[in-house]
Amino acid sequence: MTALDWPEIILRLGVATLAGCAIGLNRDLHGKPIGLKTLGIVGLSTATVVLLAVQFAEAGKITDATSRVIQGILTGIGFLGAGVIVHESDRFRVRGLTSAACTFLAACLGIACGVGQWPIVGTALTLAFLILTVGNRTEHWLHRMLGGRHGTNGAEAPPQRGPPE
Protein backbone atom coordinates (compact mmCIF):
# COMPACT_ATOMS: atom_id res chain seq x y z
CA MET A 1 0.00 0.00 0.00
CA THR A 2 1.29 3.44 -0.95
CA ALA A 3 0.53 6.40 1.29
CA LEU A 4 0.77 9.79 -0.39
CA ASP A 5 1.84 12.76 1.70
CA TRP A 6 -0.37 15.83 2.14
CA PRO A 7 1.49 18.09 -0.32
CA GLU A 8 1.17 15.45 -3.07
CA ILE A 9 -2.56 14.95 -2.36
CA ILE A 10 -3.17 18.71 -2.40
CA LEU A 11 -1.17 19.06 -5.63
CA ARG A 12 -3.04 16.28 -7.44
CA LEU A 13 -6.50 17.40 -6.33
CA GLY A 14 -5.69 21.09 -6.85
CA VAL A 15 -4.33 20.69 -10.37
CA ALA A 16 -7.28 18.47 -11.35
CA THR A 17 -9.70 21.11 -10.07
CA LEU A 18 -7.86 23.97 -11.80
CA ALA A 19 -7.63 22.03 -15.08
CA GLY A 20 -11.38 21.37 -15.04
CA CYS A 21 -12.11 24.98 -14.08
CA ALA A 22 -9.91 26.29 -16.89
CA ILE A 23 -11.79 24.25 -19.49
CA GLY A 24 -15.10 25.25 -17.86
CA LEU A 25 -14.14 28.92 -18.01
CA ASN A 26 -13.71 28.59 -21.76
CA ARG A 27 -17.19 27.05 -22.01
CA ASP A 28 -18.62 29.80 -19.76
CA LEU A 29 -17.06 32.55 -21.87
CA HIS A 30 -18.66 31.03 -24.96
CA GLY A 31 -22.10 30.90 -23.32
CA LYS A 32 -22.25 27.12 -23.23
CA PRO A 33 -24.47 25.11 -20.86
CA ILE A 34 -21.59 23.71 -18.80
CA GLY A 35 -18.99 25.83 -17.11
CA LEU A 36 -16.30 26.53 -14.57
CA LYS A 37 -17.97 25.06 -11.49
CA THR A 38 -19.27 21.93 -13.17
CA LEU A 39 -16.04 20.99 -14.91
CA GLY A 40 -13.98 21.95 -11.85
CA ILE A 41 -16.05 19.51 -9.81
CA VAL A 42 -15.69 16.85 -12.54
CA GLY A 43 -11.90 17.18 -12.40
CA LEU A 44 -11.84 17.18 -8.59
CA SER A 45 -14.21 14.23 -8.21
CA THR A 46 -12.41 12.03 -10.71
CA ALA A 47 -9.02 12.80 -9.16
CA THR A 48 -10.44 12.05 -5.72
CA VAL A 49 -11.72 8.62 -6.73
CA VAL A 50 -8.50 7.75 -8.54
CA LEU A 51 -6.44 8.89 -5.54
CA LEU A 52 -8.45 6.58 -3.33
CA ALA A 53 -7.76 3.67 -5.67
CA VAL A 54 -4.07 4.58 -6.02
CA GLN A 55 -3.64 4.72 -2.23
CA PHE A 56 -4.14 0.96 -2.10
CA ALA A 57 -1.94 0.14 -5.11
CA GLU A 58 1.70 -0.75 -5.36
CA ALA A 59 3.88 2.30 -6.00
CA GLY A 60 3.98 3.22 -9.70
CA LYS A 61 1.47 0.58 -10.82
CA ILE A 62 -2.15 0.73 -11.85
CA THR A 63 -3.95 -2.30 -10.45
CA ASP A 64 -7.04 -4.04 -11.79
CA ALA A 65 -9.07 -2.30 -9.08
CA THR A 66 -7.75 1.11 -10.16
CA SER A 67 -8.49 0.23 -13.77
CA ARG A 68 -12.09 -0.63 -12.87
CA VAL A 69 -12.45 2.69 -11.02
CA ILE A 70 -11.24 4.56 -14.11
CA GLN A 71 -13.58 2.58 -16.36
CA GLY A 72 -16.51 3.36 -14.08
CA ILE A 73 -15.68 7.07 -14.09
CA LEU A 74 -15.52 7.24 -17.85
CA THR A 75 -18.80 5.36 -18.22
CA GLY A 76 -20.53 7.66 -15.74
CA ILE A 77 -19.22 10.80 -17.41
CA GLY A 78 -21.08 9.73 -20.55
CA PHE A 79 -24.37 10.40 -18.78
CA LEU A 80 -23.29 13.92 -17.84
CA GLY A 81 -22.20 14.53 -21.42
CA ALA A 82 -25.51 13.24 -22.77
CA GLY A 83 -27.34 15.73 -20.56
CA VAL A 84 -25.34 18.55 -22.11
CA ILE A 85 -26.01 17.37 -25.67
CA VAL A 86 -29.77 16.69 -25.70
CA HIS A 87 -32.17 19.45 -24.74
CA GLU A 88 -35.89 18.79 -24.91
CA SER A 89 -36.59 22.49 -25.39
CA ASP A 90 -34.55 22.42 -28.62
CA ARG A 91 -36.77 19.72 -30.17
CA PHE A 92 -34.10 17.15 -29.32
CA ARG A 93 -31.58 18.72 -31.69
CA VAL A 94 -28.00 17.66 -31.17
CA ARG A 95 -26.06 20.52 -29.67
CA GLY A 96 -23.31 20.84 -27.11
CA LEU A 97 -20.99 18.15 -28.41
CA THR A 98 -17.91 20.27 -27.67
CA SER A 99 -19.10 20.89 -24.12
CA ALA A 100 -19.73 17.16 -23.68
CA ALA A 101 -16.23 16.46 -24.98
CA CYS A 102 -14.86 19.03 -22.53
CA THR A 103 -16.68 17.22 -19.72
CA PHE A 104 -15.00 13.99 -20.78
CA LEU A 105 -11.63 15.76 -21.00
CA ALA A 106 -12.04 17.25 -17.51
CA ALA A 107 -12.69 13.74 -16.21
CA CYS A 108 -9.64 12.36 -18.01
CA LEU A 109 -7.49 15.20 -16.66
CA GLY A 110 -8.80 14.40 -13.18
CA ILE A 111 -7.74 10.80 -13.67
CA ALA A 112 -4.29 11.86 -14.90
CA CYS A 113 -3.91 14.19 -11.91
CA GLY A 114 -5.05 11.42 -9.59
CA VAL A 115 -2.19 9.22 -10.75
CA GLY A 116 0.26 12.14 -10.86
CA GLN A 117 1.02 12.18 -14.60
CA TRP A 118 1.94 15.88 -14.91
CA PRO A 119 3.44 15.84 -18.43
CA ILE A 120 0.21 14.29 -19.73
CA VAL A 121 -1.91 16.88 -17.88
CA GLY A 122 0.14 19.80 -19.22
CA THR A 123 0.21 18.51 -22.79
CA ALA A 124 -3.50 17.69 -22.83
CA LEU A 125 -4.45 21.11 -21.44
CA THR A 126 -2.22 22.87 -23.98
CA LEU A 127 -3.71 20.93 -26.88
CA ALA A 128 -7.27 21.40 -25.58
CA PHE A 129 -6.89 25.17 -25.40
CA LEU A 130 -5.28 25.23 -28.83
CA ILE A 131 -8.28 23.37 -30.25
CA LEU A 132 -10.82 25.46 -28.31
CA THR A 133 -9.10 28.71 -29.31
CA VAL A 134 -8.39 28.22 -33.01
CA GLY A 135 -10.63 25.26 -33.82
CA ASN A 136 -13.67 27.30 -34.85
CA ARG A 137 -11.68 29.56 -37.16
CA THR A 138 -9.92 26.55 -38.66
CA GLU A 139 -13.25 24.77 -39.25
CA HIS A 140 -14.71 27.85 -40.96
CA TRP A 141 -11.60 28.26 -43.13
CA LEU A 142 -11.55 24.58 -44.15
CA HIS A 143 -15.26 24.63 -44.99
CA ARG A 144 -14.73 27.70 -47.21
CA MET A 145 -11.67 26.13 -48.90
CA LEU A 146 -13.27 22.71 -49.40
CA GLY A 147 -16.76 23.92 -50.26
CA GLY A 148 -18.55 22.38 -47.29
CA ARG A 149 -21.24 23.95 -45.16
CA HIS A 150 -20.16 24.71 -41.62
CA GLY A 151 -22.23 22.89 -39.02
CA THR A 152 -23.91 20.48 -41.42
CA ASN A 153 -20.94 18.22 -42.23
CA GLY A 154 -21.62 18.69 -45.93
CA ALA A 155 -25.24 17.57 -45.72
CA GLU A 156 -28.15 19.57 -47.01
CA ALA A 157 -29.11 22.44 -44.77
CA PRO A 158 -32.26 21.73 -42.76
CA PRO A 159 -35.37 23.55 -43.96
CA GLN A 160 -36.00 26.83 -42.23
CA ARG A 161 -39.08 26.96 -40.04
CA GLY A 162 -41.05 30.09 -40.22
CA PRO A 163 -44.57 31.36 -40.34
CA PRO A 164 -46.85 29.60 -42.85
CA GLU A 165 -46.98 31.30 -46.21
Is the model's pLDDT at 4 over the cut of 50?
A: yes
| Residue 165 placed within a domain | no
| Residue 146 placed within a domain | no
Domains identified in the chain, total number = 1
Rounded to the nearest angstrom, the gap between the alpha carbon of residue 52 and the centroid of all alpha carbons in its chain is 21
> Tens digits of per-residue pLDDT, 144-154?
888 765 444 43
Cα(3)–Cα(132) distance, integer angstroms: 37
pLDDT score at 15: 94
| Residue 155 placed within a domain | no
| Residue 41 placed within a domain | yes
Range of the domain at 60: 6-117
> Tens digits of per-residue pLDDT, 22-77?
998 888 888 877 788 888 888 888 888 788 777 766 666 667 877 888 888 888 88
| Residue 125 placed within a domain | no
Region 131-140: mean pLDDT is 83
| Residue 29 placed within a domain | yes
Query: What does each C-alpha distance from 139 to 130, 154, 158 come to in angstroms?
Result: 13, 12, 20
| Residue 153 placed within a domain | no
| Residue 128 placed within a domain | no
Region 74-85: mean pLDDT is 76
